[in-house]
Structure 1
Amino acid sequence: MMKKIILHGATNCGSSNFGDFLYGVAVYNYIKENYKDIEVGFYNPSEYFIKYIGDCKISLSKSDMLIYIPGGYFGQSHKSRFIDNAIQFVRFMPVGIKAIFKSIKIGVIGIGAGPIISPFLKYPIKMIGNKAEMISTRDNESYNALKSLGLDNILELSDLILALNIHNLSDTTDQVVDICKKCEGRKLLFVHYNHSLLARDIFARQLDTFVEENPEYQLVVGSDCLLSYDDEYYIEFSKRVKKNCIQFNYDSPFELIALLERVDAVLTCKLHVGVVATMLNKPVVCFAEHPEKTKRYYRQINQPDRCVSLYDTSEEEMLSILKDKIFEKSFVPDEEIDKAKRNFDVLNELINKK
């Protein structure tokens, strides 16, 4: 039986991202709760992870297995540049390469992959994948991207977050209660442009029209990670939308879940705010900043019309989608939830493999 397992994903380099935290805490807690004799931790976790999980850093050299946890980092971002791919390599690949040279076992669960064109990513992903004892992916496109590199021992599953009891992670804070009070009975529309200036400005134009026609909606604006310029973006958004807005100041991922439980609809440009909102059966519209990976999810849950590219869609079409889908509840098929849960079967098999 293994004694130490080290986890790695989008958990380093100052990460405070909502979705990446949920991935990390899900795998970490599962191992802690089900394997009492195994020490588990992260490779260079951010201060944010340490704040909400505790002292969770362990050494690679003293570990028996490296597990790459879910995330979309086995691939390139939208129209990635040379520098983007180089940063992606530095952040995710060296720990796997070190594990290979130290003869440390490797497993990969719930990974998002592709496109994989840059040599900075193609060759190390293939190298790590060839040494991995098992790999599970979160969608068909990721499965095909890894198969195209000649990798075997891959299971096509679903997004691990779908396997969570999301209500058990909710934390209703004073901020959430105050926001609900300020809404004064109006419907709450959560607006999530995050760090994207393009999304902020497009959302402002869309919502200025939408709220004029639907005054029963109150706009609540928030991020899903810590941003130094969050207040600045919010002030400019409020000016452009010309409507009374309420700001949600992101800090705790558990608090954001509590807010999403209470909203009536969500407009986002990112993946995992939308994923959690669909788990809660909220109406969701996504104008995707990372369309390659985000559109996959909505196809997977049989609701592709909820998500279009932020870059290749006219604002007229966006407004039409917003008006059509923001009143219609979303859902996640049971089949996808069952596939998501099988990621934990893969994790168990990796841990118990001799």
Structure 2
Amino acid sequence: MEKVVFCGASSIYGIDNFGDQLLRDLYMSWVKEVCPKAEMEFLMHKGLYSRKGDWVKSISSADLLVFNGGGYFGEKPFLNDGWIKKIIKKMAWGLRNDDVYGSAFRIAEAQSVPVVISGVEVGPISNPIFRRVVARAINYSSYCCVRNGESHSNAISMAIKGKKVNLAVDSAMSIDRDRINDLYPESLPSRVDRADRFFMLGLHVHELTDCADVNYFKGLVSKVRDEIPNGYELKIVVIHDQKKAGQHPARSADAERLLVNAIDIDHVLSYQEPGQLLKEVSELDLVITTKLHLGIVARSLSVPVISCPSHVIKTKRFYDYIEELDFCDYNKEGFKDGLPEKLMMYLRSGQYDGMCVKEAVKKSAKTSELNFKDAVSSLLADGRP
């Protein structure tokens, strides 16, 4: 029986985060389609510099190691920190990445286990140790595909001459309504209560730091309300995307409390599991989000998105790649010159049947899926060297 081992963001954060769990489930479903009997395992990180004996055992016995979407071969910009703190944080980020992705790669390389890289982000990488590891992984891999133009340029700069590095949109863009049911056939029903003459706005804010942030989102909601035709009532739903204990859900809860006190919220949806959240997002007319993957699946489901990114680099790259950078307020200016023209036309229309991404984007997602399946099928058929 073939064995495939995965290493992605879920290896660090677990699967109680919507985006990480969705990508894990998506990639595992793709492997299952081409090799139904394959044994699949996801590496789990147990802390910085923890012993990797179980990883050695898992990877050594595998026929393939997959670095899947959600993996981030790079670092945050830490824009709000002073230069000394920024250097320290970037070093820590690089060490953590090396301890996860670097450790997994070194074991695979030592044991001659084939590697597939699919849907990852690459760069910037200031840590020279981790940069060398990423370069080696790219060049060692049997198949490599990154998820946006800047990642592609960074990967190419580290690749040896003649090494093919593929480029495709984030794998989560392959999600549609049919795939929701395929991935999560037993998912919970949606809690979004749709009705005629309602405009359903999903507000997904995972962190607020001060009243200025509250006023920022209050201002965005006001801009949306001003464009909706008379006769429509704005309904606002607060969305969560994490359920585990820890600092991220705590910050989300704090954000919820501040928003509820400042904005007329109709309903708060706690996060239960990905299938339910996907159904709920599909029934919204607009999403305002600070995070990447909730925005990605909303666009994949033809729901327009206003992005207010907390992680600027990777989020800005995504919206630039799908040619919707004007929907991404990466400078947190609150669209002072007005909402994007395409969005205003949609809001004013009174016809809220979705806003599709360009056909080339969906085609890119499908091509990425097919290429990944072909690579996995071929490598598993060939067996280990």
TM class by shorter chain equals 0.7 to 0.9
Q: Secondary structure of the residue that 2:357 maps to in structure 1? A: coil
Give the unaligned 5+ runs of structure 2.
47-56, 79-85, 244-248, 348-353
Indicate the RMSD between aligned Cα atoms, in angstroms.
2.9
Q: Secondary structure of the residue that 2:12 maps to in structure 1? A: coil
The residue type equivalent to 1:324 in the other structure is M
The residue aligned with 1:344 is 373
Q: Are the equivalent residues in 1 in contact too, given 2:188–2:275 (CA < 8 A)?
A: no
1:150 aligned to which of 151, 155, 159: 159
1:88 to 1:240, Cα distance in 2 relative to 1, 3 A: farther
Could you list the per-position Cα deviations for residues 80-109 of structure 1 after superposition, in whole angstroms to 9, with x for gaps in the alignment? 622233223323321111222222221211
1:244 to 1:143, Cα distance in 2 relative to 1, 3 A: closer
Aligned residue pair count:
336
The residue aligned with 1:50 is none
1:123 aligned to 2:132? yes
1:191 aligned to 2:203? yes
- Larger mean CA deviation between 230-239 and 256-265 belongs to 230-239
Distance (whole Å) between structure 2 residues aligned to residue 108 and residue 161 of structure 1? 15
Q: Secondary structure of the residue that 1:12 maps to in structure 2? A: helix
1:216 aligned to 2:233? yes
Q: Secondary structure of the residue that 2:336 maps to in structure 1? A: helix
The residue aligned with 2:307 is 286
The residue type equivalent to 1:230 in the other structure is S
Q: Secondary structure of the residue that 1:315 maps to in structure 2? A: coil
1:319 to 1:196, Cα distance in 2 relative to 1, 3 A: farther
1:111 to 1:60, Cα distance in 2 relative to 1, 3 A: same
Give the unaligned 5+ runs of structure 1.
47-57
**What is the deviation of 1:210?**
4.3
Q: Secondary structure of the residue that 1:266 maps to in structure 2? A: strand
Structure number with higher strand proportion: 1
The residue aligned with 2:221 is 207
Q: Are the equivalent residues in 2 in contact too, given 1:28–1:41 (CA < 8 A)?
A: no
Sequence identity of aligned pairs in percent? 21
The residue type equivalent to 2:359 in the other structure is P
The residue aligned with 1:329 is 355
The residue type equivalent to 2:172 in the other structure is I
**What is the deviation of 1:124?**
1.5
Distance (whole Å) between structure 1 residues aligned to residue 71 and residue 115 of structure 2? 18
**What is the deviation of 1:290?**
2.0
2:108 aligned to which of 76, 80, 99: 99
The residue type equivalent to 1:169 in the other structure is I
**What is the deviation of 1:229?**
4.3
- Larger mean CA deviation between 316-325 and 250-259 belongs to 316-325
The residue type equivalent to 2:218 in the other structure is A
Could you list the per-position Cα deviations for residues 289-319 of structure 1 after superposition, in whole angstroms to 9, with x for gaps in the alignment? 222222222222222211131xx24235276
1:239 aligned to 2:261? yes
The residue aligned with 1:51 is none
TM-score norm. by structure 1 comes to 0.83
Could you list the per-position Cα deviations for residues 252-285 of structure 1 after superposition, in whole angstroms to 9, with x for gaps in the alignment? 0111101011111111122211111112211211
Distance (whole Å) between structure 2 residues aligned to residue 150 and residue 111 of structure 1? 15
The residue aligned with 1:265 is 286
Q: Secondary structure of the residue that 1:111 maps to in structure 2? A: strand
More RCO (CA 8 Å, sep 6+): 2
Distance (whole Å) between structure 2 residues aligned to residue 120 and residue 205 of structure 1? 44
Q: Are the equivalent residues in 1 in contact too, given 2:8–2:69 (CA < 8 A)?
A: yes
**For 1:1-354, what aligned pairs fall within 5 Å after superposition?**
3-15=2-14, 16-44=16-44, 59-79=58-78, 81=89, 82-151=91-160, 152-170=163-181, 173=188, 176-177=190-191, 179-180=192-193, 186-195=198-207, 197=209, 202-208=216-222, 210-211=224-225, 214=228, 216-226=233-243, 227-241=249-263, 243-309=264-330, 312-317=331-336, 320-321=339-340, 324=344, 327=347, 329-334=355-360, 335-341=363-369, 342-353=371-382
Q: Are the equivalent residues in 1 in contact too, given 2:144–2:166 (CA < 8 A)?
A: yes
TM-score norm. by structure 2 comes to 0.77
1:266 to 1:40, Cα distance in 2 relative to 1, 3 A: same
The residue aligned with 2:49 is none
Could you list the per-position Cα deviations for residues 164-217 of structure 1 after superposition, in whole angstroms to 9, with x for gaps in the alignment? 44433256635x33x416x78521100111235476552234325644775721
